[in-house]
Chains A and B, each alone.
Chain A
Amino acid sequence: MLVLKDICKTYFVGDEAVHALDHASVHVLPQEFVAICGPSGSGKTTLMNVMGCLDLPDSGAYILDGVNIADSTDNELSLIRSEKIGFVFQQFNLLDSMSALENVELPLIYQKCSQKERIERAKSALDKVGLYNRMQHRPSQLSGGQQQRVAIARALASDAKVILADEPTGNLDSKSGYDIMNLICELSEQKHTIVLITHDMNVAKMSQRIVFVRDGRLFETSEEAGL
């Protein structure tokens, strides 16, 4: 489903080159639940940006659902993001001026769905995360856990091939974090492909497979990564 081969990404901070990704390769199978685990500054976020088509790698190949991303235009990237990727962010990233329902509808607007279809799909997605009775609430009227559920519903509504979750429990207390992880595990059982990025081993252990990151390199085991 996701194939990353020898991905390199270098940033310049002042005159100093930072190798955020150094020949990173990983293969995520369809319906797999993979956790990418590493300390802060290891290149997790850069990997997530590349996987989420928010950023293009300097070199290497990235094939998502059979499409080579490396030479896509800005508009093509937008289309791929809207059709194939569902983001779940640490900061939730919901629009506060809109209700939960409208937030979930948003990706469908960019997919040019009809209004009727949008509302149907958004409602069923909210139902799946257990927030059907809260759909008219604003994000600010919801708890952190509920906001993250709305974000997950947003990823589900767009019918994404891959759900990319970047520290989804990072801003939550342990109880709601646990609930969110359970929800993600449930989605995995429902055959969704999920990539979870975290620094927390306890969270990572709930996945089917863990990939470790350190200094921009990927490792299959924690011993190899020296963690």
Chain B
Amino acid sequence: MTMFFNSLRLAVRSTLANKMRSFLTMLGIIIGVMSVIVLVSIAQSTTSSITSAISSMGSDLLTVTITDEDISLTTDDFLALEEYDSISGVAPYLTVSTTARSGSTYTSVSALGVTEEYMDVAGLTLESGRSIVPSDLEWRTYVAVIGTEIAGELYESYDVIGNTFTMSGHTFTIVGLLSESGSNSSGSLDSNILIPLTTAQRIADSTAITTAYVQADSVDDVALAQALTEYNLLELTRDEDTYEVYNMTELLDTLDDVMSTLSLMLGGIAAISLLVGGIGIMNIMLVSVAERTREIGIRKAIGARRSHILMQFLIEACVLSILGGLLGLGLSALGLKIFALATDMTIAMEWRAAIAALIFCIVIGVVFGSYPAAKASKMTPIDALQRN
């Protein structure tokens, strides 16, 4: 044990004696550790914010998407689903991508043509004004309920009820403002414009509905509601490849899978740079062994064993890699702080990635240090002393 501390002291001293060289050697490890930690942390934070955004919409929700353009289902085809006890609400909707203009301000928007049930089903609430009502659908009125982000872009104010704007050649009157649903990475909830479904069908010149939310009566009924929805769609389309029904839990699982694969991949790529850093350490350790041949000879002559020499160089390699790892850890904490300040997103350091990266550093120190250390320990004292 005394031997170990002596070797450690020596290793720290020789690392400090060549500060510039040690730093350049560690740079590979520092960059490797930083990229592992920062990339994985960003991926994880993004995942959790998307996940929380989706789960806030409710896990009792099913999304229906018609994927075949030749299938044209009507609003009533979807509303028929409401007959079932396990389904509490159906909200077919139509997305129209267009430009909204107020005075000289333009902004591109996705206008959603919705029924009166949409806001309940999608979990949206009003800040002020009213929502889309059945008579709007009946009379195909040009009214709109807008999100706070749109209000900000078009009017720079939330006092927008009664204002008008033009979209796709029609003038819409704003009748309601949606509550802010909190900033999240999808961001789209506050940039919604809701208009009556029938009006949207007129603008799009099509009655075909391709998307809908179906709300189950309770979380326990989700599976039943999904089965019923799929059964009805099969009846209507006679082809099970033309539609997709997702429940949110499934969607979350899929998303989780994708994101963990993604962070694993990012971490893996970053780990390669760690590996390259390890090769740098091996390189410098070989140089160090060559430079200190005489020292090795002297130490052996006065009684050092092979294992002593092996330990000395192995510990030195580990000191380099672990020190590099710790510096990388510190710098990535700093980097994430700066990233958070710059993007207004808080990113928590992913501790599992940090610990994994540090353990990997130790492994790299041992693996890449062992060849130079073995080379040093195998020198015979005579050869080592004779070389200059």
Q: Which of B171-179, B210-218, B295-303 contacts A (4 or more CB under 8 A)?
A: B295-303
Chain A residues, Cβ within 8 Å of B302: 81-82, 87, 106-107, 110, 154, 158
Chain A residues, Cβ within 8 Å of B294: 93
CB atoms of B301 and A97 under 8 A apart: no
CB atoms of B305 and A78 under 8 A apart: yes
Against B, the Cβ 8 Å flags (1 = close, 0 = not) of A55-89 are 10000000000000000001100110111000101
Chain B residues, Cβ within 8 Å of A109: 2-3, 6
CB atoms of B303 and A110 under 8 A apart: yes
CB atoms of B14 and A97 under 8 A apart: yes
Q: Which residue of the partner chain B has the closest CB to A114?
A: B2
Not counting A93-B301, A158-B303, a sample of 8 additional A-B residue pairs whose C-beta atoms are within 8 angstroms of each other reads A54-B381, A74-B305, A75-B305, A81-B301, A83-B303, A95-B295, A110-B303, A112-B3
A49 within 8 A of B: yes
A182 within 8 A of B: no
CB atoms of A95 and B298 under 8 A apart: yes
**Can you list 11 pairs linking A and B with CB atoms under 8 Å apart?**
A54-B382, A78-B304, A79-B303, A81-B301, A81-B302, A81-B303, A93-B385, A107-B302, A110-B305, A112-B3, A158-B302
Q: Which residue of the partner chain B has the closest CB to A107?
A: B302
B306 within 8 A of A: yes
> Could you tell me the distance between the alpha carbons of A111 and B6 in the complex, rounded to whole angstroms?
13
Q: Which positions 4-62 of chain A face chain B at CB distance < 8 Å?
A: 49, 52, 54-55
Across chains A and B, the number of contacting residue pairs, with CB separation under 8 Å, is 64
CB atoms of B299 and A87 under 8 A apart: no
A115 within 8 A of B: yes
How many chain A residues have a CB neighbour from B under 8 Å? Answer: 27
Chain B residues, Cβ within 8 Å of A87: 301-302
> Could you tell me the distance between the alpha carbons of A55 and B297 in the complex, rounded to whole angstroms?
13
**Given the known A-B contacts A110-B308, A112-B3, A114-B2, are A52 and B301 also in contact in the complex, defined by CB atoms under 8 Å?**
yes
> Could you tell me the distance between the alpha carbons of A82 and B308 in the complex, rounded to whole angstroms?
13
> Could you tell me the distance between the alpha carbons of A54 and B294 in the complex, rounded to whole angstroms?
14
Q: Which positions 106-127 of chain A face chain B at CB distance < 8 Å?
A: 106-107, 109-112, 114-115
**Given the known A-B contacts A112-B2, A112-B3, A114-B2, are A106 and B382 also in contact in the complex, defined by CB atoms under 8 Å?**
no
Chain A residues, Cβ within 8 Å of B130: none
Question: Chain B, interface size: which category?
Answer: 20 to 34
Q: Which residue of the partner chain A has the closest CB to B7?
A: A109
Q: Which residue of the partner chain A has the closest CB to B14?
A: A97
Q: Which positions 272-307 of chain B face chain A at CB distance < 8 Å?
A: 294-295, 297-307
Chain A residues, Cβ within 8 Å of B14: 97
> Could you tell me the distance between the alpha carbons of A95 and B304 in the complex, rounded to whole angstroms?
14
Q: Which residue of the partner chain B has the closest CB to A94?
A: B298
Q: Which residue of the partner chain B has the closest CB to A81?
A: B303
| B203 CB, min distance to chain A CBs, angstroms | 82
> Could you tell me the distance between the alpha carbons of A105 and B300 in the complex, rounded to whole angstroms?
14
> Could you tell me the distance between the alpha carbons of A112 and B299 in the complex, rounded to whole angstroms?
14
Which of the listed residues A79, A109, A154 has the most CB atoms from chain B within 10 Å of its own CB? A109
CB atoms of B303 and A115 under 8 A apart: no
**Given the known A-B contacts A54-B382, A95-B295, A95-B298, are A82 and B306 also in contact in the complex, defined by CB atoms under 8 Å?**
no
Chain A residues, Cβ within 8 Å of B303: 78-79, 81-83, 107, 110-111, 158
| A37 CB, min distance to chain B CBs, angstroms | 22
**Given the known A-B contacts A54-B382, A109-B3, A115-B2, are A97 and B305 also in contact in the complex, defined by CB atoms under 8 Å?**
no
Chain A residues, Cβ within 8 Å of B342: none
> Could you tell me the distance between the alpha carbons of A170 and B282 in the complex, rounded to whole angstroms?
39
CB atoms of B301 and A54 under 8 A apart: yes
> Could you tell me the distance between the alpha carbons of A93 and B297 in the complex, rounded to whole angstroms?
9
CB atoms of B298 and A110 under 8 A apart: no
| B7 CB, min distance to chain A CBs, angstroms | 10
Against A, the Cβ 8 Å flags (1 = close, 0 = not) of B12-33 are 0110010000000000000000
> Could you tell me the distance between the alpha carbons of A49 and B301 in the complex, rounded to whole angstroms?
10
Chain B residues, Cβ within 8 Å of A114: 2
> Could you tell me the distance between the alpha carbons of A83 and B308 in the complex, rounded to whole angstroms?
16
Which of the listed residues A79, A110, A112 has the most CB atoms from chain B within 10 Å of its own CB? A110
Which of the listed residues A52, A55, A79, A106 has the most CB atoms from chain B within 10 Å of its own CB? A106
CB atoms of B306 and A74 under 8 A apart: yes
CB atoms of B382 and A78 under 8 A apart: no
| B31 CB, min distance to chain A CBs, angstroms | 29
Chain B residues, Cβ within 8 Å of A89: 385
| A92 CB, min distance to chain B CBs, angstroms | 10
Q: Which residue of the partner chain A has the closest CB to B298?
A: A93
Q: Which residue of the partner chain B has the closest CB to A55?
A: B382
CB atoms of A97 and B13 under 8 A apart: yes
Which of the listed residues B298, B304, B306, B308 has the most CB atoms from chain A within 10 Å of its own CB? B298
Chain B residues, Cβ within 8 Å of A83: 303
Q: Which residue of the partner chain A has the closest CB to B388?
A: A91
